[in-house]
Homo-oligomer: A and B are copies of this chain.
Amino acid sequence: MGIYMTDATSIQPLLDYFNRLIPLSVEEKDLIKSKFHAHLFLKKQFALQHGDVCEYFTFVVRGCMRLYMVDDKGVYHIMQFATENYWILDLTSFHKKIPARLNIDALEDTVVLRITHSDLIDLYLKAPKFDRIFRVLLENHFMHQQQRMTQLFSSTAEERYQLFLETYPHLLNRLSQVQIAAYLGVTPEFLSRIRSRMAKG
């Protein structure tokens, strides 16, 4: 059941991703190849644990990870899932080099491409185009997060579940109800109730 890959094949999705934002030169592509490194996480394996410093800016090539916090009562709150072509990291910990308040782990066997903080700074220095690329990337990330926040703020659990179904239909079968509930901000019991209510109503 092992996942086999060569660097040549695994870097391609990231090159495609960047190229779609802003077309890259050959030199820039080579820079990416030298700075980003592939890594495999097995299901349940941690990429970041609360208290450690987040060392990597991480791109998911294949699989699924979650970014989440555990509150004082031990309840899990999932900020974000990351599947194919999404980014995942604790940005605050990464940039300020302070202990992370968030955790990241794999919900499936997951292949990522990741870059360290110092290599990213070096990338910015060697090719300023990456300042622009990461600016655009952050804009997108921010817009996603803001939409999620307005939603959490102003809708009922049922509305949030409906929107989840519309926005991430492909995730429904990949995630357990426990994970979806932790993303919506409700208990699994209540999500179960919502589903049975929707099935009838």
Contacts and interface: CB of A to CB of B under 8 A. Distances in A.
B134 A92 contact: no
Contact of A91 (B75, B91, B139, B155): B139
Contacts of A77: 150, 153-154
Interface string A102-132: 1000000000000000000000100010011
19 contacts: A69-B153, A72-B154, A77-B153, A101-B150, A124-B132, A128-B128, A128-B131, A131-B131, A132-B135, A138-B138, A138-B139, A141-B142, A142-B142, A145-B145, A145-B146, A145-B149, A148-B149, A149-B152, A152-B153
Contacts of A189: none
A27 interface: no
A166 interface: no
A132 B128 contact: yes
Contacts of A139: 91, 95, 138
A131 B135 contact: yes
